[in-house]
């Protein structure tokens, strides 16, 4: 894990590139730094391997202050991939990939094994490619080498500075896919700089949107798309992407909080009155503030019982506020009920969802999609 605490960067000419940055790059996640040019995203990344030193504040890598570490040792513990790839043209692919292991003086057989494994990982046949020179490879192949070179010394952290921006669109898409697949296997903490929102949405676990040296918003791609913090974020993401991300509302948003309920101790007659007055067919039952089950009109009319507690059903499946609309629809259909109860984590009733709520939500959604509103 990498933590930045109140980090500032002021250049010698007085330009303040970064203003009070507080960030956490999560372990084993792809953290994408994004923003318009000059926003400080690359500077932020270069602080981490001390290619740029911060002016004040603290940067902790695995709990250790990087200011107290030898920059050369620090860099050998982090993979580094840049836009211009930066393979060494006078060295073979083998030597390029083996760069950091050689700096770390690994033994030859371990290096051999690593280079083979990594070339296979990106589907480049080791026997064919290891003796070639970078100039004999296509741009996409070169950047694959760039990526595995960064992985060679098994660093926990990999810094990637717009690694795919210079590639043609097809190679770029391929490498993005490969990176996400690779990440599922290797689980590194990746700090990835880009200016391409599509790329960020595609690969990120966490997106950090920056502007003028400050963090404007951070969160999962879903969070940024569904809850953009301000107009700048909306503008940067773009209306088209925001619209595409517009999803059916969650149960939380469409449930009825103003619902009618009954108590275990209530008499059958009173419960029936409630049903009739509100034109309902079933009621949730509360016992000591907790959800206890439900009663239907059929149960109540059955006969001779005195209180609700005698006819209560407890086998109904319930919803959580964070469930999706589709789950609500499924439960309604499966249980052949007119209403499903929504429960909080404390097992209290948060609301109910019925067919009418769902059809209203659907109607809103489609009107928005077509831009009627």
**Residue 85 near residue 24, CB atoms below 8 Å:** no
* Contact stretch for other proteins (CB under 8 A) within 36-44, 83-91, 225-233, 296-304: 83-91
Q: Which of 21, 25, 66, 80 binds other proteins (CB under 8 A)?
A: 80
Nearer to other proteins, 76 or 144 (CB): 76
Give least dist CB 74 to other proteins, A.
Answer: 8
| 84 contacts other proteins (rule: CB under 8 A) | yes
Can you tell me the distance from the alpha carbon of 210 to that of 44, in angstroms, rounded to the nearest whole number?
A: 10
Give least dist CB 78 to other proteins, A.
Answer: 8
Can you tell me the distance from the alpha carbon of 172 to that of 194, in angstroms, rounded to the nearest whole number?
A: 12
Nearer to other proteins, 111 or 150 (CB): 150
* Contact stretch for other proteins (CB under 8 A) within 142-150, 254-262, 333-341, 346-354: 142-150
* Residues touching other proteins, count (CB under 8 A): 25
| 88 contacts other proteins (rule: CB under 8 A) | yes
* Contact stretch for other proteins (CB under 8 A) within 73-81, 200-208, 304-312, 325-333: 73-81
**Residue 263 near residue 286, CB atoms below 8 Å:** yes
| 63 contacts other proteins (rule: CB under 8 A) | no
Give least dist CB 11 to other proteins, A.
Answer: 14
| 85 contacts other proteins (rule: CB under 8 A) | yes
| 74 contacts other proteins (rule: CB under 8 A) | yes
| 54 contacts other proteins (rule: CB under 8 A) | no
| 13 contacts other proteins (rule: CB under 8 A) | no
Which residue is associated with the tokens 């509360």?
286
**Residue 148 near residue 118, CB atoms below 8 Å:** yes
93-112: contacts with other proteins (CB under 8 A): 99-100, 103
Can you tell me the distance from the alpha carbon of 105 to that of 103, in angstroms, rounded to the nearest whole number?
A: 5
Nearer to other proteins, 73 or 230 (CB): 73
Nearer to other proteins, 162 or 339 (CB): 162
Q: Which of 12, 13, 37, 73 binds other proteins (CB under 8 A)?
A: 73
**Residue 307 near residue 301, CB atoms below 8 Å:** no
Give least dist CB 99 to other proteins, A.
Answer: 6
| 72 contacts other proteins (rule: CB under 8 A) | yes
Give least dist CB 133 to other proteins, A.
Answer: 8
Nearer to other proteins, 103 or 301 (CB): 103
Q: Which of 87, 203, 285, 350 binds other proteins (CB under 8 A)?
A: 87
Nearer to other proteins, 171 or 341 (CB): 171
| 76 contacts other proteins (rule: CB under 8 A) | yes
**Residue 162 near residue 218, CB atoms below 8 Å:** no
147-206: contacts with other proteins (CB under 8 A): 149-150, 159
User: 141: which 2 tokens?
Assistant: 């192949």
| 89 contacts other proteins (rule: CB under 8 A) | yes
- Contacts to other proteins by CB under 8 A: 49, 51, 72-76, 80, 82-90, 99-100, 103, 133, 146, 149-150, 159
């Amino acid at each position: 894990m990498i933590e930045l605490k109140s980090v500032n960067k002021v250049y010698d000419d007085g330009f303040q590139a970064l203003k009070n940055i507080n960030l956490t790059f999560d372990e084993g996640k792809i953290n994408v730094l994004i923003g318009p040019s000059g926003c400080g995203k690359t500077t932020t990344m270069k602080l981490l391997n001390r290619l740029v030193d911060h002016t004040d504040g603290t940067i902790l890598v695995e709990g250790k202050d990087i200011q107290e570490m030898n920059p050369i040792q620090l860099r050998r513990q982090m993979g580094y991939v840049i836009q211009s790839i930066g393979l060494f043209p006078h060295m073979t692919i083998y030597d390029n990939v083996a760069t950091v292991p050689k700096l770390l003086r690994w033994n030859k057989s371990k290096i051999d094994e690593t280079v083979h494994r990594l070339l296979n990982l990106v589907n480049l046949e080791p026997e064919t490619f290891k003796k070639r020179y970078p100039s004999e490879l296509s741009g996409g192949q070169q950047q694959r080498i760039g990526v595995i070179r960064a992985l060679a010394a098994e660093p926990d952290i990999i810094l990637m500075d717009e690694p795919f921006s210079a590639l043609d669109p097809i190679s770029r898409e391929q490498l993005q896919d490969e990176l996400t697949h690779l990440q599922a296997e290797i689980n590194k903490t990746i700090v990835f700089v880009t200016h391409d929102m599509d790329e960020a949405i595609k690969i990120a676990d966490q997106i950090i949107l920056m502007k003028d040296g400050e963090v404007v918003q951070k969160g999962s791609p879903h969070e940024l798309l569904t809850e953009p913090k301000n107009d700048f974020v909306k503008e940067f993401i773009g209306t088209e992407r925001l619209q595409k991300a517009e999803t059916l509302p969650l149960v939380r948003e469409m449930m009825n909080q103003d619902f009618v309920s009954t108590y275990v101790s209530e008499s059958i007659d009173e419960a029936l009155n409630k049903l009739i007055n509100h034109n309902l067919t079933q009621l949730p039952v509360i016992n000591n503030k907790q959800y206890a089950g439900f009663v239907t009109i059929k149960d109540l009319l059955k006969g001779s019982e005195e209180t609700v507690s005698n006819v209560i059903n407890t086998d109904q499946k319930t919803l959580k506020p964070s469930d999706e609309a589709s789950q609500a629809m499924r439960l309604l259909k499966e249980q052949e009920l007119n209403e499903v109860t929504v429960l909080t984590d404390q097992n209290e009733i948060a609301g109910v969802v019925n067919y009418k709520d769902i059809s209203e939500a659907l109607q809103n959604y489609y009107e928005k999609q077509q831009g009627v509103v």
